[in-house]
Amino acid sequence: MTESSSFPVPRVAAVLLAGGRGTRAGFDQPKQVEMLGGKPVLQWSIDAFAAHPAIDGGVLVANSDVMAAVNPLPEAWIAADPGAERQQSVGNALAALADWDDEASILIHDAARPGVTAEVIDRLLAALQSADAAIPTLPVPDTLVEQTASEAGDVVDRSILARVQTPQAFRLGTLRLAHAEAIEAAATDDAQLVRRLGIAVATVPGDARLHKLTYAEDMAILSGLLGTANMRTAVGMGYDVHRLVADKALWIGGIEITHSHGLEGHSDADVALHALTDAILGALAEGDIGDHFPPSDPQWRGAASHRFLAFAGERVSARGGHIGHVDLTIIAEAPKIGPHRSAIRARIAEILAIPVGHVSVKATTTERLGFTGRREGIAAQAIAALSLPEN
């Protein structure tokens, strides 16, 4: 568990179940990779879990075609194959966490519920301080009746009923035991398996934003609940220059390039990542890199610039937005950037946790004119396009 968490639980893992096909939704592809507010449905849950300070790692249970549609997995996340049924998929995730202690906590979540909030996660983890299992529930607001094929029957007492959501939280050892004892017994969620052991399951208030994507019309509901209908496009530009000096490593675009000279600066002077960081901060209207990482602060002396870019990406997520595309141009006579372009694109995509297809890297010279033409320095300019919720 990270120091910033307020819950005294040893470690917390998130499991995201994304192996189903979702045929009732009627889409041409699995519903969990349908686009919602500019990103795949399951990416909403990944981003929410990755941003929560109490969660130490996770498992994405998905087929290869689903994996190909999502961003690179966050650090400390792993992938597992889905089973034929939901229960088998959870079993595969538990196997992937074999080296985790039984005292750890685990959150099991369905990818078809993109509206995960930090508040629900907090309530579940708080409940695990005194319980072995906890689930989020919502009251049933509608009148319920028994129904035959052609007519309504008696009214059902809704006061004793509740709607069950995910994520559901468990002590890892408890969930392992529940699955081991289940054998062939089927269940629609993991809490049912735990209750069969005679273990009480606590309830916490759920959230309407955890609405489940089942049918095509649910996309419109989710768009309204998650505010994706009120997103605006924000564009930022960044520019940076650093002097070339002898006897220094050269870092460009997050990778080290062999060259006779490196770039001079307070940090590692990665001119490309500095320009890109400024572009993202500019789109957020949150100043520039110097405002957040002032050169006068000795803690940033020699710092790796990927930390600055990662910070900018995290600020986008914290604002409820996402990065749609970034375009970077590196201006240098030498070294040649072309041979390194693929590696730079991949590294930037990794730092920002976005698909590599959303990263453009180009290079040019100034035809031997100016300070770059005289090989005195290297410059970079960048543009970032973000989607941000309207205030």
Q: Which one has a higher pLDDT value, 24 or 75?
A: 75
320, part of any domain: yes
Least confident range from 182-186, 248-252, 281-285: namely 182-186
Place 36 in a pLDDT band, splitting at 50, 70 and 90. Answer: confident
Q: What is the pLDDT of residues 4-35, one digit of tens each?
A: 334 344 699 999 999 876 666 677 788 898 88
CATH code of 298's domain: 3.30.1330.50
SS (H, E, C) the chain: CCCCCCCCCCCEEEEEEECCCCHHHCCCCCHHHCEECCEEHHHHHHHHHHHCCCCCEEEEEECHHHHCCCCCCCCCEEEECCCCCHHHHHHHHHHHCCCCCCCCEEEEEECCCCCCCHHHHHHHHHHCCCCCEEEEEEECCCCEEEECCCCEEEEECHHHCEEECCCEEEEHHHHHHHHHHHCCCCCCCHHHHHHCCCCCCEEEECCHHHCCCCCCCHHHHHHHHHCHHHEEEEEEEEEEEEEEEECCCEEECCEEECCCEEECCCCCCCHHHHHHHHHHHHHHCCCCHHHHCCCCCHHHCCCCCHHHHHHHHHHHHHCCCEEEEEEEEEECCCCCCHHHHHHHHHHHHHHHCCCHHHEEEEEECCCCCHHHHCCCEEEEEEEEEEEEECC
Same domain, 166 and 180: yes
Same domain, 101 and 175: yes
Same domain, 173 and 262: no
Domain extent, residue 374, equals 231-389
Same domain, 311 and 329: yes
Q: What is the pLDDT of residues 357-371, one digit of tens each?
A: 899 999 999 999 999
Same domain, 119 and 156: yes
Cα dihedral across residues 152, 192, 59, 80: positive or negative: negative
CATH code of 98's domain: 3.90.550.10
Q: What is the pLDDT of residue 360?
A: 96
Total tally of structural domains belonging to the chain: 2
Q: What is the pLDDT of residue 30?
A: 85
Mean pLDDT within 60-86? 89
pTM higher than the cut 0.75: no
Same domain, 298 and 375: yes
Q: Are residues 30 and 43 in contact, defined by beta-carbon separation less than 8 angstroms? A: no
Last residue of a domain, one of 172, 195, 226: 226
6, part of any domain: no
* The pairing of beta strand 377-389 with beta strand 231-246: antiparallel
Place 391 in a pLDDT band, splitting at 50, 70 and 90. Answer: low
Task: Indicate whether 195 pLDDT > 70.
Answer: yes
Same domain, 207 and 355: no
1, part of any domain: no
Mean pLDDT of the chain: 90
Q: What is the pLDDT of residue 23?
A: 64
Mean pLDDT within 299-319? 90
Same domain, 149 and 93: yes
Q: What is the pLDDT of residues 269-304, one digit of tens each?
A: 999 999 999 999 999 999 999 999 988 888 888 899
Q: What is the pLDDT of residue 125?
A: 97
5, part of any domain: no
Least confident range from 141-150, 206-215, 372-381: namely 141-150
188, part of any domain: yes
Q: What is the pLDDT of residue 3?
A: 40
User: What span, in angstroms and rounded, lies between the C-alpha atoms of 181 and 30?
Assistant: 31
Same domain, 250 and 104: no
User: What span, in angstroms and rounded, lies between the C-alpha atoms of 340 and 361?
Assistant: 10
Same domain, 143 and 246: no
Last residue of a domain, one of 173, 194, 226: 226
Same domain, 278 and 194: no
Last residue of a domain, one of 196, 226, 256: 226
Task: Indicate whether 199 pLDDT > 70.
Answer: yes
Same domain, 172 and 249: no
Rg (CA), the chain: 25
Q: What is the pLDDT of residue 6?
A: 42
2, part of any domain: no
